[in-house]
Amino acid sequence: MFTIAFKGIRQYFKDRTAVLLSLLLPIVLITLFALMYGGIGKKEKSRPISLLFTDQDNTELSKEVFKTLNDQDGMQLFPKSYEEASDLIKKGKNTAVLVLYKGFQDSVEAGNKAPMELFYDEAKEIEMGLLQQALWSNLFGITMKKGIKGKVNTWIREKNPNLADAELLNIQAQVEEQFTDFDNSEDSKKMEEKSNLPMTAIVSEEKNGNLGLVQAIAGTAIMMLLFSVSGSGASLLKEKEDGTFRRLLVSPITPSSILYGKMLSTLFMAVLQLTVMFLYSWLALGLDIFINLPALLLMILSAAIACTSFGIFMASVCKSRKQVESLSTLVILVISALGGSMMPLIFMPEIMHKLAIVSVNYWAIEGFFDIFWRQLPLSEIYPKMLVLLGIGTVLTSISVISFKRNLLKLV
């Protein structure tokens, strides 16, 4: 078994181009994904959300709405006619337009429903979510205050029909003054403070490092490792095609030794690849790999065992190298998409979260998140390692059976 493993490792290092590619390609991809997820360099202030604004009312209140919204951090308004705005949205250049219809101020002051509407591009669901959140507090803050003032004035007029106009105007001015005084008062600030929900991040980038970087490294490293090990598994079928497998079988070693030897050399390459990935992430991307080194090493080993078993499993169930190559590519792409290697699971619907547990990628990525992002102790991480080892054991057991059934029969 060890002789076969050493031979496999020797062959791996003989092909310098393949060694370079197996290490360089994941490095390039990790860097690329880290850039995509904003995992490299200083955290930049996020780009403001742009909102088109159509003011058909053109009153003091509609102008106040424009100013209030535009003054908000993270939001930028662009005045446009409705036609221009809808054209820009159709062309995908903008996400939404807020239209304040004629009579906006009058309706608000009368305490009626404000005539306004938001038109948007349904494809930009994420941006729309952020936009709605920003609009909700500001837009309804302005309109509701005006609406309450209007309602109060209407109520005074209705309850005091004989009130002289001058008296009425005086009362309205006092009401206005009260609202303004309250807005500027300490009480108002205290109430605002009381009504605000205090929010404190338990897990944050400041305390826990770079989320995007962890996602990029964990997701890409596992996906690339699966591709590497499937190639290594395919070499088992190459041995059959080249005739060396027959020669191995006539030598005084058991068929299982051939399989375990191949697994051992593949495992070595898998551990090497993951180790190089994390060393690169530390040296070039600033990931603190020493945050929990024992957990990281054990997680690397567990992930490598699970991935190696996957590679051997693919080789043992397929009948030719071409079959392994095409089927592996398909399966790896599917489980990588499911497991969150290509896109973080938070962006996926609930059903995908449930399906993800069948993927090696999911458990490995979650394990690396536990180490680098959640910074959990080993006692909290080890269940994920056990799942990975479980996956490895199941796949290896199936491989041993399939190996005897397929490969040995095909001699």
Partner 1 sequence: MLVAKNLSKSYKEVKALNNVSLAVQEGELYGLLGPNGAGKTTMISILSSLLKPDCGEILYRGKSLYQNLTESKKMIGVVPQEIALYEDLTAFENLKFWGTLYGIKGKQLQLKIEELLSFLGLSDRKNHKIKNYSGGMKRRINIAAALLHDPKIVFMDEPTVGIDPQSRNLIFEVIQELHSRGLTMIYTTHYMEEAERLCDRIGIIDEGKIIAEGSFEELKKSSNIKEEIHVKFTNTLKTDLSNIDNHFNGQLLIHENQMVLSTSQANADLPILIQMCTNANLHLENLQVRSLSLESIFLELTGKSLRD
Q: State the residues that interact with partner 1 by CB under 8 A.
A: 3, 7, 10-11, 14-15, 242-244, 246-253, 411
DSSP conformation class of 358: G
Beta partners for residue 79, in sequence order: 53
Contacts of 401 (CB under 8 A, 6+ apart): none
DSSP conformation class of 58: -
For residue 94 the two structure tokens come to 């903008």
> How far is the C-alpha of 77 from the C-alpha of 134, rounded, in Å?
12
The least distance separating partner 1 from the CB of residue 10, rounded to whole angstroms, comes to: 7
Q: Which is nearer to partner 1, 4 or 216 (CB)?
A: 4
Q: Which is nearer to partner 1, 134 or 248 (CB)?
A: 248
The least distance separating partner 1 from the CB of residue 264, rounded to whole angstroms, comes to: 15
Do 219 and 361 contact (CB within 8 A), yes or no?
Answer: yes
> How far is the C-alpha of 106 from the C-alpha of 115, rounded, in Å?
10
Do 303 and 388 contact (CB within 8 A), yes or no?
Answer: yes
The least distance separating partner 1 from the CB of residue 408, rounded to whole angstroms, comes to: 10
Which residue carries 């190298």 as its tokens? 321
Q: Which is nearer to partner 1, 12 or 372 (CB)?
A: 12
Cα–Cα nearest to 277, from 262, 244, 261, 299: 299
The least distance separating partner 1 from the CB of residue 268, rounded to whole angstroms, comes to: 17
Q: Which is nearer to partner 1, 233 or 261 (CB)?
A: 261
Contacts of 274 (CB under 8 A, 6+ apart): 221, 225, 300, 303, 304
Cα–Cα nearest to 135, from 66, 89, 196: 66
Kindly list the distances between the CA atom of residue 139 and the CA atoms of 71, 100, 133, in Å, as whole numbers in the listed order.
Answer: 12, 11, 10
Residue burial 25-43, b: 16+ Cβ < 10 Å; e: rest: ebbebbbebbeebbbbeee
| Longest Cα separation, the chain | 115
Q: Which is nearer to partner 1, 13 or 140 (CB)?
A: 13
What's the distance, CA 42 to chain centroid? Answer: 19
The least distance separating partner 1 from the CB of residue 8, rounded to whole angstroms, comes to: 10
DSSP conformation class of 341: S
Q: Which is nearer to partner 1, 244 or 397 (CB)?
A: 244
Residue burial 65-79, b: 16+ Cβ < 10 Å; e: rest: bbeebeebeebebee
Q: Which is nearer to partner 1, 202 or 250 (CB)?
A: 250
> How far is the C-alpha of 230 from the C-alpha of 324, rounded, in Å?
7
Q: Which is nearer to partner 1, 16 or 91 (CB)?
A: 16
The least distance separating partner 1 from the CB of residue 211, rounded to whole angstroms, comes to: 42
The least distance separating partner 1 from the CB of residue 13, rounded to whole angstroms, comes to: 10
The gap between the terminal CA atoms of the chain, to the nearest Å, is 20
The least distance separating partner 1 from the CB of residue 240, rounded to whole angstroms, comes to: 10
Q: Which is nearer to partner 1, 209 or 261 (CB)?
A: 261
Q: Which is nearer to partner 1, 81 or 406 (CB)?
A: 406
